[in-house]
Amino acid sequence: MDIGNADAILVTQWTGSNATRVLIDGGHAADADEVLKKLAELRVAHLHHLVCTHPHDDHAAGLVQLLNNKQLTVGQLWMHLPWRHINYEELTRSLGQAGQSKVVNVIRASLDTTQELYRVAVARNIPISEPFDKSSIGPLFVCGPTLEFYRNLLLQFGDFEKLKNFESARAAHELKLMIEDFARGTAVGGQPLAEDDGDLGSEPTEPENESSVILTASHNANRLLFTADAGVSALQSAVSRYQLNNLNWMQIPHHGSRRNLTETLVEYFKPTYAFVSANGSTQHPRRKVVNAFKKIGTKVYSTHHPTPRSLHHSVGSVPERKGYEKATEL
């Protein structure tokens, strides 16, 4: 769905005239009305499954608002529950003593969103399951993270000094790139995008992004991959356990960030089509990421191009969608 640098993806599996529907993420809290509007346009009043890939507010905060709307019914919520896997009281106490910084505030907000989403689901008696490796979610299959991978990431949440240093170094690098972008005046699709800014995947991804649920689906010989904000480590972990190459379709992770993919991974996935949810800014999607896919022959589409719009892709026999136009490649 077209909600800028945020994610909300509706997956529908048709068996004759019967539909099984999964909503992956719900964008920011402010995006909930737009997501509900799109669901209403598609006459979707019931979701068999709702997936929170990770607790960042551009994916999870909208889900809280969706669950607060009782006109939308939900069969099952899938989300990670960190308090089952870490000393939660110690983590929250450490957060309270950590002072103010962007990275610490993001962790606080993420934990608050997780707790609020859990609370609303419990209040509505919606069953909750954790989406770990080998779980099946309707037509989707979880290929990451494993429980061990997730628990190792949680241990990094408490290393605030390391995370602060990481955030400061990254912010300085991003400012340098932004200045260079505007000095060049480069643009794609009417929007400025970063040009040459180092190798793909050369910088680490935040632990919360690496904890993203990675999902796959198959129809005959066509395989689809949903990546949320998963980074290089998470994707490599999934690739080490499953055959995910030569895809029909994939979601470009983290709105097209250059940190979340390497050229080796792009060449391995080799999708025929790739979608990215982004606003066309200097960072999302990165020119270098788009070009890495185009180099191997992938048709790349973004929700921002040529004007903001939702995107639709189907394999097999799917009822015609009204209101969609032919998409324009980046």
Give per-residue pLDDT as tens, 33-43: 999 999 999 99
* β-pair partners for 47: 74
Domain assignment present for 324: no
When pLDDT is cut at 50, 70 and 90, the band that residue 184 belongs to is very low
User: Is residue 285 reached through a cis peptide bond, with omega within 30 degrees of 0 on the bond before it?
Assistant: yes
Domain count, the chain: 1
Q: Which amino acid is at 87?
A: N
- Which residue, chain included where needed, has tokens 């992770």? 253
Sort strands 128-129 and 77-78 into parallel, antiparallel or unpaired.
parallel
Percent of the chain with pLDDT over 90: 70
> What does the alpha-carbon distance between residue 116 and residue 281 come to, in Å, rounded to a whole number?
30
Q: How much is the pLDDT for 202?
A: 80
Asked if residue 291 belongs to a domain, the reply is yes
Q: How confident is the model at residue 187 (pLDDT cuts 50, 70, 90)?
A: very low
* CA separation for the pair 303, 284 (Å, rounded): 11
**How many residues are recorded in the chain?**
330
Cβ(181)–Cβ(283) below 8 Å? no
Give me the amino acid identity at 115: Q
**Does residue 52 belong to any structural domain of this protein?**
yes
Cβ pair 178, 282 in contact under 8 A: yes
Tokens representing 154 are: 């949680």
DSSP state of 170: H
> What tens digit of pLDDT does each residue of 111-165 get?
899 999 999 999 999 999 999 999 999 999 999 999 999 999 888 765 545 544 5
CA–CA separation, 110 and 235 (whole Å): 22
Output the domain CATH number for residue 122. Answer: 3.60.15.10
| Residue with tokens 């191997």, as numbered in its chain | 296
- Is 312 among the domain residues? no
In a domain, 33, yes or no: yes
pLDDT at 159: 55
Mean pLDDT computed over 248-268: 96
Residue 14 domain boundaries:
9-302
Asked if residue 44 belongs to a domain, the reply is: yes
pLDDT for 35-81, tens place per residue?
A: 999 999 999 999 999 999 999 999 999 999 999 999 999 999 999 99
* Strand 273-276 versus strand 299-302 pairing type: parallel
For residue 315, being part of any structural domain is answered with no
Residue 4 placed within a domain: no
C-alpha span between 55 and 128 (Å, rounded): 15
